[in-house]
Amino acid sequence: MAAVGNESIAASPIRADYPEPLWVQAVELISGEIAAGRLSAGMRLPPERELCEQLGISRVTLRKALTKLVADGVLSSSHGRGWYVMGAKRVKEWPNSLESFSETARRLGLTSSSTVLRAEAAPANLDEAEALAVAPGTPVFRLDRVRMLDAVPIAIDVSVTLVSVLDDPESVDFTVGSLYAQLERTGAEPQRADATIEAKEAPVSVASELEIAPGQPILVMRQIAFDSSDRAVSLSTISYVGDRYRLRTAFVRGAARVS
């Protein structure tokens, strides 16, 4: 049994024949140990290899569980040091500044990656052309990705970017590459963005990619990004798992800012 301070996690009840995924069972088990007081605020969990042996699960499965607990504010991750029990549960706030998903991941001490669903150049349709202030048919690059933190699906990002502000985007490996980094290379890095946010129920297609139940709440952010010359360079629709983030808004008289 692996010890945490003077305490230890109870014998594993994780069962492969249960309907709940193994990582969900691990989340429930660790949460239960914290709720029971056997794991208290400030304690460091055992090394991942010990936890895997103790719980009888793979490291990938364990990472999904731990990352979910970090997203829920139950644990914190310290790069190179391990996983720690937080105090009172908190919800992570999205930054009150414009940053890429990769930059947010680094700030949180997590590893970002993506599953690319689509990456192709095509003519802009009427809605896309209007949003980007270009003529219909202007070449755009469509990039659809499932965004992940430590291999856990966090959001689906559907973006449309002007081909004219990218340098051979179809040659980029967007499973790990950043779209903002590509825009920075050509001098078209977004400096501001207009966004609208609404809560919706996850449709089946989105729920499947995010590994949540259909109908579960998601936060849908529609955003138009502008470069330093105030030119619209990219638009995106990002569907976040609804219970993992709080989006913070700052208001001033006569204007509003959403990040």
Strand (E) or helix (H) holding 67: helix 59-71
What share of the chain in percent tops pLDDT 90? 37
Token digits of residue 95: 């930054």
C-alpha to C-alpha distance for 48 and 124, rounded to whole angstroms: 47
How far is Cα 157 from Cα 23, in angstroms, rounded to an integer? Answer: 24
Q: Report the C-alpha gap between 179 and 258 in whole angstroms.
A: 21
Higher per-residue pLDDT: 193 or 258: 193
Lowest mean pLDDT among 134-143, 171-180, 247-256: 247-256
Q: CA–CA separation, 128 vs 53, rounded Å?
A: 51
DSSP label of 257: E
- The Cα–Cα gap between 152 and 112 comes to 9
Using CA atoms, how far apart are residues 101 and 179, in angstroms rounded to an integer? 9
The pLDDT tens digits of the residues spanning 142-164 come to: 999 999 887 788 899 999 999 99
Residue 11 buriedness (CB in 10 A; 0-12 / 13-18 / 19+): exposed
Give the DSSP letter string of 68-87: HHHHTTSEEEETTTEEEE-S
How far apart are the C-alpha atoms of 219 and 60, rounded to whole Å?
26
Residue 172's pLDDT is 92
Give the DSSP H or E segment for 49.
helix 48-55
Q: Is 3-85 in CATH node 3.40.50.620?
A: no
Considering only residues 3 and 206, tell me which one the structure prediction assigns the higher pLDDT.
206
pLDDT single digits (tens) 43-98: 888 888 888 888 889 989 998 889 888 877 788 876 667 888 886 444 445 555 67
Domain 92-258: homologous superfamily in CATH: Chorismate lyase-like (3.40.1410.10)
Task: Name the DSSP class of 192.
Answer: E
- Higher-pLDDT residue of 197 and 103 is 197
| CA–CA distance, 26 with 152 (Å, rounded to integer) | 14
Contact 241, 68 (CB under 8 A): no
Domain chopping of the chain, boundaries:
3-85, 92-258
Q: Is the pTM of this model over 0.95?
A: no
Strand partners, 153: 148
What's the pLDDT score for residue 246? Answer: 59
Alpha-helix residue ranges (DSSP H) falling in 72-220: 101-108, 126-132, 179-185, 204-210
